[in-house]
Structures are given as C-alpha cells and as structure tokens.
A and B are shown apart, each in its own frame.
Chain A
Amino acid sequence: MTDASEKDVEQAGAARTTQAAQAGAADGTRAAAPTKSPIVSVRHARKAFGSVPVLRDITLEVEPGEVVAIIGPSGGGKSTLLRCMTLLERLDGGDLAYGDLAVAADGVYGNKDVLARARSRFGLVFQNYNLFPHFSVLRNVMDAPVVVQRRDRAEVEAQARALIAKMGLEGNEDKVPCQLSGGQQQRASIARALAMNPEVMYFDEPTSALDPELTAEVLRVMRGLAAEHMTMVVVTHEMSFARDVADRVVFMDGGVIVEQGPADQVINHPRQERTRAFLAQREA
C-alpha cells in the first residue's frame, strides 16, 4: 500500500511536490496527509463536434486538494473539457472516472445511477452564473440539497446561510439574483455549488463577465477556497490568479494539453513555443 502511494506521488510529478511545498508553508498538515487516488481522472479523452476534433487525447488527473488552472487561447477546448468532465457533454472516446467510480470507459458511459453518483461529486460555476432567477439567494443555495440530495431542510438552511455569509453575501439571503451585482451573483452561484458538498469544484471563466472590481471579489473567495484545500479546476484568463493560486497550470491549445506543470514554471518559464507565444500575447 505504502509502495503504491509513493509511486503515485512520483507519477504525479513536480506538480504535487510544489503543491505539497506550498501547502507546507501555509499549513503543516497538508504535506503530511496520506496520498489519495485522484479525485477525477480523464484518460485519452477524445471529443469532436461533427467532423471537428475539439479534444484530442487529453489525459488529466486532479489530486485531492489540488488547484489546477487551465489556460489557453480561445477555441482551444477548455470549456469542452470542463463540460465533458461535468457530464454536460459526452466524450467520443477515452475514460472518465471520479475516484473509484468509472463514469466512462472507452467512450461508453455508465447508467443513469452512475452518472447521478458522479454528479454528486462535483460542482460547476458558470461564466454567466446561471442562478435561478425566480428563487431567492437562499433558495438558490438550498433547493438542490433539499430536493436532489433529500437532506434535512433545517440542516441545509444552516449550511446555506453559513456559505452565503462566507461568500460575503450576508443580508442578501432574501434577495433575488436580479437585485445583485454580477460579482454577488457569481459568489451566490459558488455558494450554490458548495452546498452540494462536492469533492471538486469546476469554474469556467468565472470572472470574465465581470469588471475588474467585481472580479477581485470573486477571486478573493476563490483564494479562500484554495486556502481551505478545496479541490478546484479553474479555466481562467486571469494569469495572476493562475500564478498565485494554482498548484498546477495546464496550457491547452488545439484540443491538446501542450504543456503543464507547476504554475511558476508554466507561466514564468514555459518550455513550449506555443505557450510562450500565448503568454507573450497576453502580456501585450
């Protein structure tokens, strides 16, 4: 068992080392935590829209507590990858697993029950929030845990109020989304996803609909989650966020992972020409 874990650490490579080092600096418990199997793993994933390949042999694993930033030019397949991982789209080929739950093997998906169990393990934050406009903030956060997970209403409400407060939205529980700023709506949608107690949170450009001030509010709560070792996969154009918060940065272009590694390495010392070109363009 110990051998296997050590091998895992080796395989996961530099990213984990950095993560462990960072975590060690922030909080000593993390480095000592026993190695677990990946929370989610995608292997040799393929996906095409019609005859256009959008994902070409993508392999990605996310370890518990890891923050992975996915960057890359428009049309590179970042959203499609996230949509496949969140079961909004189906892979044409390859494997998808949540822990020991095999969701898709060689492009063949499990049954409804398997998909439902997989869905209970992740949360997704959309670029345009997609809050339910007819529900109050509190109801947006509470509804799925009560209706889908059939949890006790009082317990859910206590958790929901705590999450809303944690997102800096105290006092807005009874407002409806249209009464909130974009940044507040995005934070409410993060609370909604967290209320399902997911093992991993996905974010698809959570701040790109927001102006800089509101972006900062949202990034602040995301940093908070990272500090609590929430496992996160974030598609972002915010290079400073990727550099400062992510343990690992994945650069995607043309449906492939061109380069990945510790955030500092990929962003400050990219090895691939395409990554360099992309980053240079970003700075300009």
Chain B
Amino acid sequence: MCGMLGSGFLVSLQIFSLTLLGALPLGLPVALARMSKVRPLAAIARFYISIMRGTPLMLQMFAIYFVPYYVFGVSLTTDSKWQATIVAFIINYAAYFAEIYRSGIQSIPRGQYEAAEVLGYSGGQTFFRIVLPQVVKRILPSITNEVITLVKDTSLAFSIGVIEMFTVAKQLVASQVSMLPFAIAAAFYWVFNLLIDALATRVERKLDYYHD
C-alpha cells in the first residue's frame, strides 16, 4: 500500500517540481510586464494575472485540456491530460509569483535605484546586483507560503485524471474499505511541507546577515 502511495507521491512530486521550475522564472517577466510603462503590455499582464488568480485552477486545467481540441481540432492523446496539468499549474503559479515579485520589487526604496544610477550601473546591473538580491530576502516568506500551497494543490490533478498520490489514496480507500490510505497520504504531504519549511528557515537565516 505504501509502495503504491509512494509511486503516486512521485507523480505529485513531479507536478510540484515542474511547476516550480516553470513558474518561478516565468513569474519574473510577468511581473516586469505588469510594471511596464508600455500600457498595453501592462494591461495584458494585469488581465492574465486577474484570470489566473480569479478562477479555479481546476477549471484552468480543464480549459487547457479541452481548448486545443475544440478550437484547433488537435486530437487528445494519453499524454494530453498530463501536459494540460503541468501547463495549467505553471501559468497559474506564475501569476501568483509575479504578484509577489512585483510587491517585492516595488518595496525597494527609490534611493537604491538613484544611488546605482549615479554610480553608473546599467539597468540590468542595477536589477540583478542591487534590487533582486534585496527582493529575494523580502519575498522569501511569501514564496514559502505559495510553495506550501502548491504541495497541497498537486492533489487537484486528481480531478482531470492524473494518477498522483491523492488519486491513488482514493482508490485504495475504496478497495480496502479503510481510511488509512488517506491518513498516510496526509502524512506524506505534511512531512514534505515540514522539509520545505526547514529549508526555507535555513535560507532565511542565511539572508539574515543584514536588515534594512
């Protein structure tokens, strides 16, 4: 039983890792677009973020699963559900990360930009050497929160039929007429989040060498 849950957990872990791998970087251009002085670009980013945060992730998964079929006539294969899940998770979480990045970037005092400008740093140098490291420290708690939510959200893939840990647990509960698989699945999520928490605390402590 634990073996089956374990292999289900590996699938959840894949959703989790692929989402972070895609959404953490993707959030940055979205945040920059959202803050852009180019109005249409900012409007598009704002709209995108609003849809992603304002509708359920589950519906987004279904939309991404079915839209290519209905609109473009692309035939659905066995991989389609998995692909739709990963894409939906990435673009959904990128929107949340983008808003966190934006709040972090906007919290950096103007004086930092001005000091950098007078010293002759280019825009890119200012962002990557001066601004971003300070943003990372400021947003780390919010990012940790979001990551912990993501661990639990991976169970939403159940609804589209991806066999991740929660799907496995539900099947086991039905076949064994026991709630134990749910309890074990819960333990998996919880322990994994404890690990994330421990990691976040370590990173936070590492960045604790200064405050501003």
Contacts and interface: CB of A to CB of B under 8 A. Distances in A.
Interface of A: 86-88, 116, 119-120, 122-124, 126, 128, 130-134, 143-144, 147-149, 176-178, 192-193, 196
Given A126-B111, A176-B210, A178-B212, A134 B133 contact: yes
Instruction: List 7 tightest A-B contacts by C-beta distance, closest first.
Output: A130-B115, A130-B111, A133-B212, A144-B119, A176-B210, A148-B120, A124-B118
B121 A130 contact: no
A126 B115 contact: yes
B112 interface: yes
B119 A88 contact: no
Contact of A143 (B111, B112, B117, B129): B129
Contacts of B154: none
- Most A Cβ at <10 Å: residue of B120, B130, B211: B120
Given A88-B114, A126-B114, A148 B210 contact: no
If over half of B's interface residues share one DSSP class (helix, strand or loop), that class is named, otherwise mixed; here it is: helix
10 contacts: A116-B120, A119-B119, A124-B118, A126-B115, A130-B112, A130-B114, A130-B115, A134-B137, A144-B120, A148-B121
If over half of A's interface residues share one DSSP class (helix, strand or loop), that class is named, otherwise mixed; here it is: loop
Nearest to A179: B210
B14 interface: no
Nearest to A117: B120
Interface of B: 109, 111-112, 114-115, 117-121, 125, 129-130, 133-134, 137, 209-212
A180 to B, nearest CB: 11
A147 B121 contact: yes
Contact of B118 (A123, A133, A147): A123
Contact of B112 (A88, A132, A144, A193): A132
A176 B130 contact: no
A132 B212 CA distance: 9
Nearest to A115: B120
A128 B111 contact: yes
Contacts of B129: 143, 147
Nearest to A123: B118
Nearest to A127: B111
A230 B158 CA distance: 71
Contacts of B209: 176
Contacts of B119: 119, 144, 148, 192-193, 196
A192 B137 CA distance: 24
Nearest to A196: B119
- Most B Cβ at <10 Å: residue of A131, A132, A149, A192: A132
Contacts of A88: 114, 117-118
Contacts of B117: 87-88, 119
